[in-house]
Amino acid sequence: MSVVFLSTGPPTVSAEQLRAIAKSYDVVVDAHEEEHYRHLLNGLDATSQLVEALPAYTDPRLLPDSSTLPRTYERLAGNAEKNPLNTWSHRTSITDPKPLDKRLEGRTIVVKDNVSIAGVPLTGGTFPELLTGKTEYPIPQIDAVVVKRVLESGGVLKGSANCEHFSMSPLSFTSASGPVHNVWLKGYTTGGSSSGCAATVAATQARTWRKKHGLPPNDEELGESVDMAIGGDQGGSIRIPAAYAGIYGFKATHGLVPYSGIISLVPFIDHTGPMTTTLVDNALLLSVLVGYDGMDPRCTPETPLRANVPDYCGLLEAWKAEKESNGEWTPQAAGRGLRVGVLKEGLEVVGLSDEVKAVISAAIARFKAVGADVQEVSIPMHVLGPSIWTVVTRPFITSNGLQNRATPFLGYAMPDITPPVFDQKAYEVLNKHNPAVVNMFFNSAFMNAKPDANQQLAKAMGLVQQLRDVYDEALTDFDVLLTPVNPRVGSKHPEYAMDVEKKMEPAIGATLNTCQFNVTGHPALSMPAGWGKVSDGPGMLPVGMQLVGKRFDEMSIFKAAAAWEVGGKGLDRWNGQLN
């Protein structure tokens, strides 16, 4: 292969620069060869300057429809009066006057604040100085694909919801604007990193639930809410907050929902998807979001074209109708024909509380009661999944997720996100607000500095395939696998003044049943299964159940969840007390 550089003007690369570059490799260039290599570097420098001078190109498929412009917004983050639970980042109201269809007509939707909305500031849950090196947040010129699809289906985009610093916390106290509170018990976590999404949807859930159970409204405590949200999940960040908030959160198969226009952590584990108050709404929003976009390298040959996207709602209703015609859509028979594998190791993860285990045990009994074939299945490698997830992602966390370095795959690279170099000032801010981000910088540097870093990474990638294979093998015998989501009932927000250990302690173990499926790509739903007592107070908070299916078989999960709920909704398993 030949390398051709443009001819150059006066040299710009000094001999000292060349020597410094060579020294970084522990190489000494012979004196008589220095001028040759310096000349080649000078040519490269001129070539890069030429590219730098070219105008940037924005894929027209990401540009907002002109009929939705202009757009206005109001920043609500940290506004206690208008935003009592600190769920909102920026509020707006965007509709398409001529949508392509009406599936979401009149439905209100919010997106996680790592999703681009043209004309609305993007925060990534952090401070602008840490996102761009400037004092102002970037204002995207594009709509993420999921935003465009919501608008094309008649949805009302209400704005962006707060999220955790760089999407790196399973709890909800690390956002730059302060803690995001649980709608059921203020002062407690609503889970992360899609914290604001979970809480804005859960506020709608709480209003409906309180009315159903004859409790007085508490609208002033909840603030404005929405019907649906679009969250992000790299280790559990849709499912964990959905579980803590008592809503439905779906991490679909990797590559099924395009990620174009969303801040990445590591493409290998990036997922985006629906968070809703009901299972049917989850199926509806997923149908709107799914399908190849022609840009996202996360999509695979298995990702359906838009014309071939399943109508999850229609298919679910047809399946219900068939069961009804057979007299099976009853609390005693709705689950007939479904095979549910209770993952033994999922009920043995470190830190799983008795409260959560009791709720999940009752949920398993419900599956049996509705007629499903329920059996325990052992997958010993499940307990190794978090370690594999850690080793395979840590080398890339800094360059991809914390510095937004473009990957060697064609795709939209979020050019407005230009974090500065990690330094003492950044350390002090992050150490106070989210030590997990500091830990990621240290983790990435440590992993990459190992003499055998490449061999270890290659081995970990092979283990990912093995992990995928063992789940696939188990799923030949079952339609879904069942685990808890959150190992413990939600905890109180820690104080910023606490030391690192105390701030991070409540998050330990939070992803032990979720992160595996980010690296293997299997679809997984979090749904409310019941209530559990908090360990540090008198209150009750929701507990989530996770259903995992074959890759690109979201329908089996929806069927199993729907059959389970014929016996009653998870949040209806209530003892009459919230606090």
Q: Domain with 90 in it: what CATH number? A: 3.90.1300.10
Q: What is the mean pLDDT of the chain?
A: 95
Residues 78, 40, single domain; the answer is no
In 3D, which of 501, 455, 542 has the Cα closest to residue 209? 542
Q: What is the pLDDT of residue 5?
A: 53
- 400: in domain: yes
Looking at residue 11, what is its pLDDT?
Answer: 62
Closest to 7 in 3D by CA, of 39, 55, 52, 54: 39
68 and 42 fall within a common domain? no
- Say what the pLDDT of residue 307 is: 95
- Which pLDDT band, with edges at 50, 70 and 90, does 577 fall under? confident
Q: What does the alpha-carbon distance between residue 91 and residue 408 come to, in Å, rounded to a whole number? A: 35
CA distance 485 to 483: 6
Place of tokens 């298995």: 302
Question: Given 89, 177, 237, 287, which residue is catalytic?
Answer: 237
The pTM for the full model equals: 0.96
Q: What is the DSSP string of 429-464?
A: HHHHH-HHHHHHHHHHHHHHTSTTHHHHHHHHHHHH
The strand pairing partners of 548, in sequence order, are 481, 524
Whether 167 sits among the annotated catalytic residues: the reply is no
Residues 6+ apart with CB under 8 A from 293: 61, 145, 258, 260, 299
Residue whose C-alpha is closest to residue 226's, from 170, 155, 172: 155
Q: Are residues 167 and 285 in the same domain?
A: yes
In this predicted structure, what is the pLDDT of residue 579? 63
pLDDT of residue 209: 95
What is the number of structural domains in the chain?
2
pLDDT at 237: 98
Residue 237 annotated among the catalytic residues of the structure? yes
Based on the domain organization, do 46 and 141 belong to the same domain? no
pLDDT of residue 4: 55
Q: Please check whether residue 6 lies inside any domain of the structure.
A: no
Pick the more confident residue, 231 or 575. Answer: 231
pLDDT per residue as tens digits for the range 542-560 = 999 999 999 999 999 999 9
For residues 147-167, give the mean pLDDT.
Answer: 97
Same domain, 106 and 33: no
CA atoms within 13 A on the CB side of 31: 0
- Residue that terminates a domain, selected from 6, 26, 53: 53
Same-domain pairing of 34 and 118: no
Question: Six-digit token pair at 97?
Answer: 């006057």
Q: What is the pLDDT of residue 9?
A: 55
Lowest mean pLDDT among 84-88, 402-406, 461-465: 402-406
Token readout for 375 is 């059996």
According to the 3-state scheme, what is the secondary structure of 173-228?
CCCCCCCCEECCEEEEECCCCCHHHHHHHHHHHHHHHHHHCCCCCCHHHHCCCCCE
Residue where a domain terminates, one of 6, 29, 53: 53
Contacts of 531 (CB under 8 A, 6+ apart): 359, 540, 541, 542, 543, 571, 573, 574, 575
* Cis bond before residue 70 (omega within 30° of 0): yes
Q: Are 195 and 334 within one domain?
A: yes
Question: Are 68 and 44 part of one and the same domain?
Answer: no
Predicted confidence band of residue 6 (pLDDT cuts 50, 70, 90): low
Same domain, 46 and 74: no
Share of the chain above pLDDT 90, in %: 93
Nearest Cα residue to 267 out of 280, 258, 275: 258
Tens of pLDDT, residue by residue over 33-79, are 999 999 999 999 999 999 999 999 999 999 999 999 999 999 999 89
Tell me whether residue 319 is in a domain. Answer: yes
Indicate whether 411 and 432 sit together in one domain. Answer: yes
pLDDT at residue 238 above 70?
Answer: yes
Distance (Å, whole) CA 16 – CA 91: 52
The pLDDT value recorded for residue 192 is 97
Mean pLDDT for the stretch of residues 508-524: 97
Do 47 and 108 lie in one domain? The reply is: no
The enclosing H or E element of 229 equals strand 228-233
Residues 34 and 95 in one domain: no
In a domain, 8, yes or no: no
Strand partners for 481: 341, 548
* pLDDT tens per residue, range 400-413: 999 999 999 999 99
pLDDT digits (tens, 9 = 90+) for 204-220: 999 999 999 999 999 99
In the predicted model, what is the mean pLDDT of residues 134-146?
97
Q: Residue 1: inside a domain, yes or no?
A: no
Question: What is the structure's pLDDT at 50?
Answer: 93
pLDDT at position 495 is 87
pLDDT interval class at 8 (50, 70, 90): very low
Task: Please check the confidence at residue 504 and state whether its pLDDT lies above 90.
Answer: no
Q: What is the pLDDT of residue 80?
A: 93
Residue-range definition of the domain harbouring residue 38? 15-53
Q: Is 193 a catalytic residue?
A: yes
Assign 3-state DSSP to the chain and report helix, strand, coil percentages, each to 5: 40, 15, 45
| 84 belongs to a structural domain | yes
Tokens of 575: 């003892």
Which residue among the candidates 160, 169, 177, 193 is catalytic per the annotation? Answer: 193
Average pLDDT over residues 435-457: 95
420 CB-near residues (< 8 Å, 6+ apart) = 129, 130, 133, 426
- 578 domain residue, yes or no: no
In a domain, 433, yes or no: yes
